[in-house]
Amino acid sequence: MSGSEERKYFTYMVRCADGSLYTGYTVDSLEKRIETHNSGKGSRYTRSRLPVTLVWYRTFFTEHEARSLEWHMKQKTKKEKEALAASFGKDKKQ
């Protein structure tokens, strides 16, 4: 990454093969993080529930914002998370 590029931080949600949802955060490359999960080297939770598919994400310019949203997302009910996943791509705030 060149000095002129700003880092990007992502809060994301993936759907596991068993239908469950996993929320996490990553830096710079969301695609690489999904590949890491699917290679079995991601979180312990997703390791036994492969493959995962991206169902929702938000982009931030600070780590604090991404981690804060990750925490808040983990406090949501499954129903609330499912609603976010269902609406992904339908709003223009991606």
In this predicted structure, the answer to whether residue 84 has a pLDDT above a threshold of 80 is yes
* Predicted pLDDT of residue 90: 73
> Is the pTM of the predicted complex or chain greater than 0.95?
no
* Predicted pLDDT of residue 29: 95
Is residue 10 a contact partner of residue 66, using CB atoms and an 8 Å limit?
yes
* Predicted pLDDT of residue 79: 97
* Predicted pLDDT of residue 94: 45
Helices (H), 1-94: 30-36, 44-47, 63-75, 78-87
CA gap 34, 45 in Å, rounded: 14
Share of the chain above pLDDT 90, in %: 85
Chain segment 16-58, per-residue pLDDT in tens = 999 999 999 999 999 999 999 999 999 999 999 999 999 999 9
**Fold adopted by 9-87:** GIY-YIG endonuclease (3.40.1440)
Mean pLDDT of the chain: 92
Share of the chain above pLDDT 70, in %: 91
